[in-house]
Amino acid sequence: MNRGRVVVMVAAAVVAVAAVVTVALQLRDLAAVPTTAPSTEDTPTPVVADAGPGAPTRVTIPAIGVDAALVPVGLKDDGSMQTPDFGAAAWYEPGPRPGEPGPAVVVAHVDSAVGGLDVFGRLRELRPGDQVTVHYPDSARTFVVTDLEQTAKADLPTTRIWNGTTAPVLRLITCGGAFDRGARSYLDNIVVYADRLV
């Protein structure tokens, strides 16, 4: 057998072996690919929290001519509730938003020394059946007044205001009664109770 022919045969054998190895590797890789789509049963679906209606923006009470901006407030360092600036009402942000389950609280001033009557200057005139609407950027929640009471500030009926109900209720609070000129404060609170209209 001549030398040229041997070289050609060896080269052909090497090519054949390389081809077999390549095909074997491709078959191995093909066997590793799943023949069905992966299951999504074990993959948790992300849960997107309901952002709700956003923050309330206004409160309107037609019976007493109220149409005021709503701002959020929290607690002061002494544990008492913050109050809004004159000309605005405030909702208690650590509690439920008006229309959510539980007692939501909205506060405003009754008057000021320089501006006269303020947002809740006529709150004591509300009667059962009057309506209160809290406005959100794209919606509104309407409540109907069920009761009103006036109590000394020292006797604020906290257990009635925050009574643990899961119904969406509203409490409107302002000052009332006699004015203590020395303390520059009213002696009483007026609290209006309202239930959400369905």
Task: For residues 140-163, give the mean pLDDT.
Answer: 96
Judged against a pLDDT cut of 50, whether residue 198 lies above it is answered with yes
**By the 8 A CB rule, do 196 and 167 touch?**
yes
Judged against a pLDDT cut of 60, whether residue 183 lies above it is answered with yes
Note the pLDDT tens digit of each residue in 43-73. Answer: 555 555 456 789 999 999 999 999 999 999 9
Task: For residues 137-142, give the mean pLDDT.
Answer: 96
CATH number of 58-196: 2.40.260.10
Q: What is the pLDDT of residue 155?
A: 95
Report the candidate in 123, 141, 127 with the shortest Cα–Cα distance to residue 191.
Answer: 123
Judged against a pLDDT cut of 90, whether residue 12 lies above it is answered with no
6-10, 77-81, 173-177: lowest mean pLDDT where? 6-10
Judged against a pLDDT cut of 90, whether residue 31 lies above it is answered with no
| Percent of the chain residues past pLDDT 90, beyond the cut | 67
Chain-centre distance for alpha carbon 114: 35
Q: In angstroms, rounded to a whole number, what is the distance separating the alpha carbons of residues 69 and 56? A: 9
Report the candidate in 94, 58, 100, 101 with the shortest Cα–Cα distance to residue 75.
Answer: 94
39-48, 108-117, 144-153, 187-196: lowest mean pLDDT where? 39-48
Report the candidate in 155, 148, 140 with the shortest Cα–Cα distance to residue 190.
Answer: 148
Predicted confidence band of residue 113 (pLDDT cuts 50, 70, 90): confident
Domain boundaries, the chain: 58-196
Is pTM beyond 0.85? Reply is no
In this structure, are strands 102-107 and 168-180 parallel, antiparallel, or unpaired? parallel
SS3 123: helix
